[in-house]
Structure 1
Amino acid sequence: MSKPRMPHPPMTIAAAVVTHDRLPKLVETIRRLQAESLDHVVIVDNASTDGTAEWLAGQDDPRIIVHRSDTNLGGAGGFSIAMQIARDRTGSDWVVVMDDDGRPHPGAIDAFRAMDLSGWDAIGAAVRHPDGAICEMNRPYRNPFWHLGRFARTLIRMPLGKGRAGFHLSDADYRAGGPILPVDMSSFVGLFLSRHALSHAGLPDPRLFIYGDDQLYTLQMRRKGLRIGFAPDIGFEHDTLALQGKTGLVLRPLWKVFYMYRNALIAYRVAAGPWFWPLVPVLLRKWRRKAVDYGDDAATFRVMLDLAVRDGLARKLDRPHEEILRRSGSD
């Protein structure tokens, strides 16, 4: 007589949140997370000075784990710590990461629990603005340098200023009820990482500080053979007011320009492989045109861009943040 099969224990999920001086957004995000079927909520407070530490100290939810950093480690440093705590202290089967202004739609965690996750090491959510519009900065993509068809479509659309549409997921891919789609890059807003993925991919590089840490991390996951899916039925909200100019995202304060473009070059090196050096002149021409969006600060934008390019090409990640603030006039 065969022994009865033992039921599998329920899947455990931890949320990993990074915050810095955005208490109202954090409060809304934590309230949303507390309403979800999560087992743990790890919060890394990046040296906030707006009452965040005091508010967190007053929370009595036993699921909440708070780590307070004495210095602002940036998003990359914060995610590295939050993911490590979620992996090592909670032992959760899955960890879902987000900024303090990113939060699940009601029922998103239950929807994730109900999915067939076989064959996937990570799952990215469909991220929208509060008004329901797709959040462009969180739109996943297939790396065109790894997929000939995507590469060809990107080249065809570039003269029309629509090269991005050649390799990013389309609006149609976001329709409810659609299949899970394979992607090569997914953002750190609503990215579910399995214990297997965290074990093999490690942690984000904290030296990146902000921007591109998620792009670089997920591209490196794919290079290690880990499988990332996009699930249109797992909804997340990104409550961001990032500005768009004539040539794309406008960064304020200007010290952010350095990190955006330095880290982008490092990520492009991973994505493009042998195509990286022929691509560099194309990127530089495109990026220098962005100065028009900075008005009276165009000269400072160029200074920060040049510094970013220098460090990015050299893969230099040790320039002190204080120097970046000083050179951008933000200290």
Structure 2
Amino acid sequence: MVAVVVTFNRCAQLQHSVRCLLAAPEHQLSGIVVVDNASSDGTEAWLSSLEDSRLSVLRLPQNVGGAGGFAEGLSKAVERFNADWVLLMDDDAYPTKNALQAFHTSARPRNRAFCAAVYDPSGRVSVINRPFWNPFRSLWRFVTTLLRGKSAYYVSDRQFESSNSLPVDFATFVGFFVSAEALQRVAPPDRRFFIYCDDLDFCERLTRSSIEIHFDPSIRFDHECKTFNASRRVYDPLWKSYYAHRNGLYFARCVAGRLKTPITLGLAMLWALRSVFYRRPHRYLELLWWALKDACANDFSRSHADILRRAARGTGWQSIVKARPLVEQTRQLSATKNEL
């Protein structure tokens, strides 16, 4: 098995991730491909200082995002190491001590892919890495989704605590194991996504190629993701919100079938309401507008440089995404009224 790790300017997290992987014996992990998306924070120098025959570094001339990085890394893993299985993971994801051993302990049919149980640093199930089923796949699933929300189609905490694996429709590239046989059936991750939903699109194409995806709670990963603050519902940095909304809507429209129009309207309204969590909502709403427009037109031509420029226009993205929770805003307003 070979691991593919994509990194960009997170040298400290990458060091931890690579050390966790190198701690595994060679019979569990025969190679590591690190795809460096033109990092400028010392990542290149640190990787150059490592001396391990299992480590292969692919430094790209420019940042092509996670989607492009995984596409390049998969090609490298198969070409150089002739990998039978490939493990996909972010640079801020860490396999626990027995994670790779747990993968090799059980029989792993080559016509399946497997995803790990991912937890955040506090020990809770990672919100952004919870596997799920397609809520539009059946009438029953759709109706229960309307009644119960995400709990109707997300893998539950109880299933995380179980020792039994179960088939799912979608999982993220954090502790995602795919066989060489499966890679021969499907194209690599779609580079156009840049970041976000490239893994879900890949899962959808695996399923269409008769490759089942199984969630295995015995394989545990920790994920130190800090991009999206769930308690404040903001993206930091702000430019990532464009990709989250464009790719999220594009993918939702692809799987929603005849319901894509109401789904589009519903998501647009929900995301627009989240502008109240941003200090400068007009900048967030402008990026959201372009994301919705491009998703509906299936337009992936907007450059990353253009997205960065739009996010930074005005006073700079750092001040834009320094969000205040809505509760805090309400308290400040009440305090002001009391003083008057």
TM-score for the superposition, normalised by structure 2:
0.88
Asked if residue 130 in structure 1 is aligned to residue 113 in structure 2, the reply is no
Alpha-carbon distance in 2 for matches of 1:148, 1:181:
21
Residues 4-45 of structure 1: CA distance to partner in whole angstroms, max 9, x if unpaired? xxxxxxxxx000000111111000000000011310000000
Residue aligning to 2:193: 208
- Would the aligned equivalents of 1:120 and 1:229 in 2 still touch at CA under 8 Å? no
Counterpart of 2:206?
Answer: 221
Would the aligned equivalents of 1:242 and 1:249 in 2 still touch at CA under 8 Å? no
Equivalent of residue 81 in structure 1, options 35, 47, 72: 72
Aligned mates of 2:223, 2:137 — CA distance in 1:
29
Does the CA-based 8 Å contact 2:4-2:70 persist in structure 1? yes
Q: Does the residue aligned with 2:308 lie in a helix, a strand or coil?
A: helix
Gaps of 5+ in 1: 1-12, 158-162
Letter in 2 for 1:288: A
| Aligned partner letter, 2:276 | V
- Per-residue deviation at 1:249? 3.8
| Alignment correspondent of 1:3 | none
Matched residue, 2:158 = 172
Amino acid at match of 1:50: D
In structure 2, the partner of 1:90 is: 81
Aligned Cα root-mean-square deviation (Å): 1.5
Match of 1:185 in 2: 170
Matching residue of 2:2: 14
Q: How far is 1:245 from its partner? A: 4.9
Partner of 1:265: 249
Aligned-residue offset at 1:257:
1.3
**1:263 Cα deviation after fit:** 0.5
Give 2:217's aligned residue: 232
In structure 1, which of residues 302, 317, 320 is the aligned counterpart of residue 303 of structure 2?
A: 320
The Cα offsets for residues 72-97 of structure 1, whole Å up to 9 and x where unpaired, read as 11111111111111122221111010
TM-score norm. by structure 1 comes to 0.90
Asked whether the 8 Å contact 1:216–1:270 carries over to 2, the reply is no
Shift of 1:243: 4.0
Tell me the distance in 1 between the aligned counterparts of 2:243 and 2:106. 36
CA distance in 2, matches of 1:87, 1:276: 37
Share of identical aligned residues, percent? 38
Q: 1:286 pairs with 258, 263, 270, which one?
A: 270
| Matching residue of 1:71 | 62
| CA shift for structure 1 position 150 | 2.2
Distance between the aligned counterparts of 2:286 and 2:61, measured in 1?
30
Which consecutive aligned stretches of 4+ in structure 1 deviate over 6 angstroms post-superposition? none
Q: Aligned partners of 1:249, 1:87: CA distance in 2, in Å?
A: 38
